[in-house]
């Protein structure tokens, strides 16, 4: 079975998501911070009257926070019934893959890192990480433990 992915970059890393989840790609716009949001949630933006939470995908994946500039873009995607924005460096291309071409991520002894990656695919001479969008959802983020006062 074939599948289409949109590929994009963060730093020098190549990632991809299922094209059917993409709603739009928009230029970077500053976000409004939300109190007590997880650290990877950069804030929210107004998307034609809808509040769109925007996450720093680099920070969500454990690669450190990025400082967005005008060259960054926000990929708006739908996970379940909610829209989410992902800050990425650039959008590259649409690729068509065979499901059988996707390889299982290697066991690196870090279950948190591997849970976000559905698989790996070869795109030209590079490997791209295909993200598991259900694990990427902001609502799926582990909540911090309450501390006793």
Distance CA 113, CA 132 (A): 11
Q: Average pLDDT in the 26-44 region?
A: 94
56 found inside a domain: yes
Strands 50-56 and 41-47 turn out to be antiparallel
**Using an 8 Å Cβ cutoff, are 28 and 66 in contact?**
no
Q: Count other Cβ atoms within 10 Å, centred on residue 5.
A: 24
Which domain does 59 fall in, by range?
2-139
117 found inside a domain: yes
146 found inside a domain: no
Calculate the alpha carbon distances from 139 to 2, 46, 93, 109, 143 in Å.
29, 19, 28, 25, 9
CATH number of residue 99's parent domain = 2.40.50.180
145 found inside a domain: no
72 found inside a domain: yes
pLDDT attached to residue 135: 81
Distance CA 65, CA 53 (A): 16
pLDDT attached to residue 34: 93
Could you tell me the two tokens for 53?
């939470």
**Using an 8 Å Cβ cutoff, are 132 and 126 in contact?**
no
148 found inside a domain: no
| pLDDT tens for each residue of 58-115 | 998 888 999 999 999 999 999 888 899 999 999 999 999 998 999 988 776 666 656 7
Could you tell me the two tokens for 39?
């650290």
Total tally of structural domains belonging to the chain: 1
pLDDT attached to residue 110: 62
Nearest to 76, CA basis, from 65, 86, 66: 86
pLDDT attached to residue 109: 65
**Using an 8 Å Cβ cutoff, are 63 and 115 in contact?**
no
């Amino acid at each position: 079975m074939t599948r289409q992915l949109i590929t994009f970059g963060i730093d020098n890393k190549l990632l991809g998501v299922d094209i059917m989840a993409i709603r739009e790609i928009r230029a970077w716009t500053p976000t409004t911070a939300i109190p007590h949001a997880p650290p990877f949630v950069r804030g929210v933006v107004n998307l034609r009257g809808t509040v769109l939470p925007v996450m720093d995908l680099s920070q969500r994946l454990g690669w450190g926070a990025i400082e967005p500039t005008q060259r960054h873009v926000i990929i708006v995607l739908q996970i379940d019934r909610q829209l989410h924005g992902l800050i990425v460096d650039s959008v590259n291309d649409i690729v068509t893959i065979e499901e059988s071409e996707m390889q299982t991520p290697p066991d690196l002894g870090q279950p948190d890192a591997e849970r976000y990656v559905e698989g790996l695919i070869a795109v030209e001479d590079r490997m791209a990480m295909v993200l598991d969008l259900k694990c990427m959802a902001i609502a799926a983020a582990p909540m911090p433990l309450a501390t006793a006062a």
